[in-house]
Amino acid sequence: MTSRETTPAKPAANPDDMYSRVTMGRVSGLIVDQIRLLIRDGMLSAGDRLPSERELGERFGVSRVTVREALRGLEANGLVTIRVGAHGGAFVTAPTSERVGEGITDLLTLSGLSAAEVTEARRVFEMGYVPLVCERADDQDIADLLEICDRAEAALAEGTYPVSLSAEFHVRVARASHNAAIEMLAQSFHGPMVMSLQQAQDEDPKVGVLGTQEHRRFVMAVRKRDVAAAEAVMSKHLARTAARVKKSTAAKKGRK
């Protein structure tokens, strides 16, 4: 056994057997579903070129117009890239964290989450990766986080505090974990986070004053690799946001 790991070869398949005729429902959607499954099952990998529109039409038993519509759907979902020219065609792409994050963001934003639910989820999620941040944050992470604190303090000095600054800080903290999955999830939560923070600010216009101070204390604890101190600051910080959201929610119910 060598020290180098080998990547298992994807299963060989006859191209003629990979695509099945579609005869019912919204045909282009069924084609999209078939190709998506082929990608998930490893039959198609990033960089693979799909057959031409004519070939796909023959294999699926549909017109080129239908194939073209399916390819547009695949491109919109970030599953393929369409290139033009002599060496063009439809090529399978690797999903990016931005693309996946956008999908999760849409799901969260459109699902009718309450500010209380968002804040509760943040307390579970964000507290979980504080130790990783303390362990892995580098000089650039610290500099970026302090720069956000500087901008927040400048905004407060002018009598304003956009809650988007707080959301930006927390997403940047997640990035300092140097874990792509954590960063992606934090990015996808940006919209709902801003919504919940806005509700907290509506309840207490002073939101941002203590928060910015705590942000800076958190960064100092991270710089010292002091997990206990960082967790204490973050726990208090998120608990106060939760209390403000809870009070705002109760007030809204009382006005109904």
Q: Which range in 183-192, 200-209, 242-251 is most confidently predicted, on average pLDDT?
A: 183-192
Q: Which range in 19-23, 83-87, 120-124 is most confidently predicted, on average pLDDT?
A: 120-124
Does residue 237 carry a pLDDT above 70? yes
Alpha-carbon gap, residue 24 to 11, rounded angstroms: 29
Nearest one of 194, 244, 237, 187 to 216, comparing CA atoms: 237
Nearest one of 206, 214, 201 to 245, comparing CA atoms: 201
Does residue 136 carry a pLDDT above 90? yes
Alpha-carbon gap, residue 171 to 126, rounded angstroms: 10
Q: What is the tens place of the pLDDT at every residue in 6-41?
A: 445 555 556 666 766 655 447 888 898 899 888 888
Per-residue pLDDT averaged across 199-203, rounded?
83
Per-residue pLDDT averaged across 75-90, rounded?
85
Q: What is the CA radius of gyration of the chain?
A: 24
| Diameter of the chain measured on Cα atoms | 71
Per-residue pLDDT averaged across 48-67, rounded?
91
Residues 6+ apart with CB under 8 A from 90: 49, 50, 71, 74, 75, 80, 81, 82, 83
Nearest one of 29, 105, 40 to 70, comparing CA atoms: 29
Please identify which residue in the block is written with the tokens 């303390």. 134
What pLDDT, on the 0 to 100 scale, is given for residue 238? 94
